[in-house]
Amino acid sequence: MVDYSVNGSVALLLVNNPPVNALSYAVRKGLADGMSKATKDKKVKAIVIAGKGRTFPAGADIREFSGPKRDPWLVPVGNGIEQSGKPVVAAIHGTCLGGGLEMALFCHYRVALKSAKVGFPEVALGILPGAAGTQRLPRVTGLPIAFDMITSGRHVPAEQAKKYGIIDEIVTGDIVNAGIKYAMSVVGHSTIPRRLRGRAVPDAENVQKYADAAMAQVKRKYKGFEAPVYCVKAVQASAGKSYDLGVENEQTLFKVLGQSGQARAQQYAFFAERLVGKWEMPGGNSQTAKPVPVKSVAVIGAGTMGTGIAVCILSAGLPCYLVEQNSKFLDNGIRTIKALMEGSVKLGKISLEVGRRATSLLKPTMSYDDLTGVDLVIEAVYENIDLKKEIFAKLDRICKPSTILCSNTSSLDIDRIAVATKRPEKCVGVHFFAPAYHMKLLENIYSTKTSPETAATVMKLGKTIGKVPVLVKSCQGFLANRMNTPFGNESTFLVEEGALPWEVDQVMEDFGMPMGPFKVRDLSGLDISMKITAEIAKTLGVTLTDETRFVAGSRYSHMNTMLAKKGRLGRKAGKGWYKYEKAGGKIPTIDDEVISILDNHRRNLGIERRTISSQEIIERLLYSCINEGFKILEEGIAKRPEEIDISWLYGFTFPKYLGGPMYYANQVGLSRVYDRICYYHETFPYSKHWVPSLLLRRLSEQNIPMSQWMASPGAKL
């Protein structure tokens, strides 16, 4: 795991633990053994630690966190490095993260390639740097940067890291040779002044001021997350305590966090995110299907979604046509894209240079004839099946035979769109979430005809444009919206039965959702949800009128439509489920008119108002979705619970510290969830989403936790 060699007077400890050289037990032991060998060897005057393959160690081995701790731990290994009288140089390339950066900070010198990045991403795993990183970084960078890096987990490019004092020199060429050359230049130098444990934290007297600012920031930015708060406490101790006491304090906090439910959920989410990249569909999978190269893209429609998608494509450095039917719409689209790019530059998300280059790749046009040679087209017009079919037929006639045709749809069946073409195997759904330039989820949808190559192409495109792509089978609403539909319906039913919109919102925000369902509706516009409902009803062949409450064996509410018809279209109209008068119409406030609309509505329907508990709100909103999630697994729309959880984390901003709805259900206990679903099914027999999933019933009855389900084919239906 650590290859030891001596080159002249320099010993090389080359970590060899692919793919990311994680600091597993064998690596830690290898480093300790290598240090001891190099220390004893009189020929050796300096030591280099580097990583073989693609990176310097990218952290501790996360998989080991769930097992028993095995010595040597990183801190004693690091102490051995720091105490060495022979200079130790960390030669960094790739991603030097977490425990990897901590190892580097135990070394006396750090050199890096310009392309390297360093950081402490532990916070994203629900923990904190637990090998003295919270004590050593502030001694190098000062407190404000240490607070920022450790609470945000951001990856810092090498040149920036040099400015912070983390890197001593940017080197070029082969990293091992560069490391050895640097090591030779420091042979004979005393290591004592280079030992960070002996350094004072700069500006330590102002620690309270910096800590207060950092705490206020994490409480606002990472509401509900425990790890950032602990990170602040650990870094703060670096200035108030001795180095050794600071490390001791860090170890205690590390242990507490490591055993918390949040850490386990966030680490589950880390591996789930990687797992969804290993997709499967009839006829192929991520290993066997080869993506076709995509060098140019076209987006049809310059509305909110189209422009957002174009920004994603352009930001990834791909040329992108933007197609609109008239110059007014096209000009608006161009303006929106430029404004979004300028906004990203201002926020520091991209550099001015990248922003300019991206904008220069935009090719606005009103002619489909320009699209003959593009590799991939994304149709992003509004949800109207006839219009989408018309566009697909046109694209099929004009584009070269190899062009992949994608529809950005949130629910329309891809088979029904693809039928308009002679290339159904090259037709696929790509569901972006609003705002498309910001939300990380890309739900890719294969139809009965989509080829694995086409699926592989959109999965790869998703990664290229910085999204987390999840592949699902086409059905009404696909994974995300199908599963989210009961969430929306139940929230309206609760309000019909007696809860108030702001009470439902508060319960869900306390649960961890960034915004309650009624605020979300106001933000996206009640007219939009009204149109989508009407389009879905058309697809299902049902008629939704104001009076209709039970159609096709299910319960419907027309409250959104009712409010929309009263001009309450949401935030843009100054009123919806809330009213918006304060702070330029951005702050939702309680509206008495909504209370009387609800009272009238209940009277008309003969519903007697009742008190609804927070627990019932959570169960009705979430358990109904979880039940649908199990049906999605049963039907093979998604292959694994991880695909569902990732869709919720990145599509609906479900709190990461709860892992996702399926993980959450497992934590609550599948039997408990199943029992409550059965109870609600008895109470609301006309709501299809309460019909219990057979898979959930089987897992609950046989007491099989979800983690075991995939490995237990007997439990499969």
Quote the least distance from Cβ 50 to ligand 3HC, whole Å. Answer: 16
The smaller minimum CB distance to ligand 3HC, of residues 114 and 603, is found at 114
The smaller minimum CB distance to ligand 3HC, of residues 466 and 553, is found at 466
Residue 122 annotated to the active site = yes
Dihedrals phi, psi of 575, to nearest 5 degrees? -160, 145
The smaller minimum CB distance to ligand 3HC, of residues 129 and 629, is found at 129
DSSP one-letter code for 11:
E
Quote the least distance from Cβ 54 to ligand 3HC, whole Å. Answer: 7
The smaller minimum CB distance to ligand 3HC, of residues 279 and 623, is found at 279
The closest of 456, 464, 69 to 251, measured between CA atoms, is 69
The closest of 43, 32, 156 to 106, measured between CA atoms, is 32
DSSP one-letter code for 165:
T
Quote the least distance from Cβ 61 to ligand 3HC, whole Å. Answer: 4
Distance CA 570, CA 230 (A): 39
Distance CA 271, CA 264 (A): 11
Alpha helices in 94-206 (DSSP H): 99-106, 133-141, 143-152, 158-164, 175-185
Quote the least distance from Cβ 62 to ligand 3HC, whole Å. Answer: 4
The position carrying tokens 């106001």 is 522
The smaller minimum CB distance to ligand 3HC, of residues 416 and 463, is found at 463
Q: Which of 102, 383, 490, 628 is catalytic?
A: 102
Quote the least distance from Cβ 715 to ligand 3HC, whole Å. Answer: 24
The position carrying tokens 């200035």 is 239
The smaller minimum CB distance to ligand 3HC, of residues 61 and 443, is found at 61
Distance CA 467, CA 315 (A): 12
Distance CA 585, CA 604 (A): 32
Residue 102 annotated to the active site = yes
The smaller minimum CB distance to ligand 3HC, of residues 118 and 445, is found at 118
Q: How far is CA 142 from CA 106, 199, 278, 289, 515, in A?
A: 17, 11, 41, 49, 36
The smaller minimum CB distance to ligand 3HC, of residues 255 and 672, is found at 255
β-pairing verdict for 2-7 and 404-407: unpaired
- Give the up-direction half-sphere exposure of residue 332: CA atoms within 13 A in the CB hemisphere: 10
Quote the least distance from Cβ 519 to ligand 3HC, whole Å. Answer: 32
DSSP one-letter code for 426:
G
Which helix (H) or strand (E) element contains residue 377? strand 376-379
The position carrying tokens 């420091």 is 186
Distance CA 169, CA 114 (A): 10
Residue 500, token pair as written in the block: 């108030």
The position carrying tokens 């950005």 is 408
CB-CB contact of 176 with 12 (8 Å):
yes
Q: For the beta carbon of residue 681, count every other beta carbon within 10 angstroms.
A: 16
Beta bridge partners of 323: 300, 365
CB-CB contact of 9 with 44 (8 Å):
yes
CB-CB contact of 477 with 411 (8 Å):
yes
Quote the least distance from Cβ 195 to ligand 3HC, whole Å. Answer: 20
Instruction: Please report, as a single letter, which amino acid is at residue 657.
Output: Y
Quote the least distance from Cβ 220 to ligand 3HC, whole Å. Answer: 24
Which helix (H) or strand (E) element contains residue 488? helix 480-497
The smaller minimum CB distance to ligand 3HC, of residues 58 and 507, is found at 58
The smaller minimum CB distance to ligand 3HC, of residues 121 and 142, is found at 121
Residue 195, token pair as written in the block: 């030992």
Q: For the beta carbon of residue 659, count every other beta carbon within 10 angstroms.
A: 27
Quote the least distance from Cβ 290 to ligand 3HC, whole Å. Answer: 18
Beta bridge partners of 377: 298, 405
The smaller minimum CB distance to ligand 3HC, of residues 74 and 104, is found at 74
Quote the least distance from Cβ 23 to ligand 3HC, whole Å. Answer: 7
Quote the least distance from Cβ 246 to ligand 3HC, whole Å. Answer: 15
Provide the binding-site residues for ligand 3HC, judged by CB under 6 A. Answer: 19-20, 22, 58-63, 74, 95, 97-99, 102, 121-122, 125, 129-131, 133, 271, 274
Distance CA 204, CA 232 (A): 14
The closest of 628, 300, 647 to 476, measured between CA atoms, is 628
Q: Which of 82, 122, 226, 383 is catalytic?
A: 122
Q: For the beta carbon of residue 155, count every other beta carbon within 10 angstroms.
A: 17
User: Which of the residues are catalytic?
Assistant: 102, 122
